[in-house]
Structure 1
């Protein structure tokens, strides 16, 4: 079912039933008024909605208009509706486990977008931040935890030369979802160089999503976990 919102949006209310994953609202570029209209209309179809790439003004407007809301300001992402309350109260029904690794602290905003998306989708998440290859020993304890917890998927987030996913793929049998970020100097080219580097990964078992796309990485991980569950 498509729900039309004035002349600004056509919501795909049955996406989760048809494609196995819910629709999300991409807030970037939307006015506050349009965003609020879209969220309200979507909540007439479903009990919860995920909103990505929010700015400060949009976050404040959401807080004013909705009682059940969970905001991750670092990740610029929010959940409105029933699942917001479940996450805040720690009552999420979990279907599987993933781990999120970042090479550096500067990659955390992308990781937090991935984290909140994963929680929205019912995934338990282990976070290991600032474990990049400049000091490879930092990976020892996180990889032990991944093995102990029998993690289903690893999301590896990195800027610069983007080597972290390849290193992880050579050290574990867990599928890797690689996320290039726009973090880096000069020839990083806002993440393009990192993207190409990840696509050239020598170890197999690495899938790559678009630059800074933490949301897409978690949806891909969710689809893997969902088929296994």
Structure 2
């Protein structure tokens, strides 16, 4: 059934988390803010979890969701670097922990918005997150401690977020024994800017075990990482019985 009557049709996938293991995410960019509101409200009512992620949300969208939903008991949380929102019903419980562990590394502070998307999706899918920011190849010594931390945490998969030259994912992939997901960002300028050089660099890697999502696709990186980590956690739990 259409979630909107008289504005524009939108059909939310309230059963995606059951069918796919990945929650429906409302993509706010390009939508009329009130259309985003309608989709979020529909998901809040229909999803048993009472939790809805919104990506690429402007300040206008965030303010609208707060003004319309919080008086009814909902809560709207924004990622530290903006863009990603989590809307929860009054009766919403935290996601059930799966035992999956996702590590996330960013090359620079400017990569944080895409990293936040990935992090919030992975957490909503029940994974524990181990994160280190601003550890790019311009100061490679910064990588030593985060690599130690992710090994000690037993990370099942690593998301590496980088713009500019996009070199960090290849470096990390050559140093860890778990899958690495490269997340190129649109940080960068001039020839190859906008994430193109980062994407091509990751695709041309010679370090095995690195796969790549599209530029700024934090949702895809987080969902894929969590699917891997959750499957590993299930196998780990079964083998320990």
Give TM-score scaled by structure 1 length: 0.91
| Structure 2, unpaired ranges of 5+ | 234-241
User: Among 57, 60, 75, which residue is 2:60 paired with?
Assistant: 57
Number of aligned positions between the proteins: 224
CA 1:214–1:84: 2 relative to 1, 3 Å: farther
Q: Distance in 2 between matches of 1:84 and 1:126?
A: 28
**Residue 165 (structure 1) aligns with:** 169
TM-score by length of 2: 0.87
Partner of 1:174: 178
Do 1:5 and 1:11's aligned partners in 2 also have CA atoms closer than 8 Å? no
8 Å Cα contact 1:92-1:122 kept in structure 2 = yes
> Aligned partners of 1:169, 1:19: CA distance in 2, in Å?
27
Partner of 2:75: 68
- Matched residues in 2 for 1:109 and 1:119: separation? 16
Query: Does the aligned pair in 2 maintain the 1:13–1:23 contact within 8 Å?
Result: yes
- Name the SS for the 2:45 alignment partner: coil
Give the SS at the match of 1:151: coil
Cα deviations by residue, 1:30-65 (Å, 9 ceiling, x for unpaired): 112111111111222202211100000000111112
Q: Does 1:204 align with 2:205?
A: no
Which residue is 2:85 aligned to? 78
Q: Who is 1:20 aligned against?
A: 21
CA distance in 2, matches of 1:135, 1:40: 45
Which residue is equivalent to 1:126? Answer: 130
In structure 2, relative to structure 1, the CA distance for the partners of 1:215 and 1:176 (3 Å cut) is same
Check whether the contact 2:187–2:193 (CA below 8 A) recurs between aligned residues: no
Structure 1: 5+ residue stretches without partners: none
**How far apart, in 1, do the equivalents of 2:146 and 2:25 lie?**
30
The answer for the alignment partner of 1:5 in structure 2 is 4
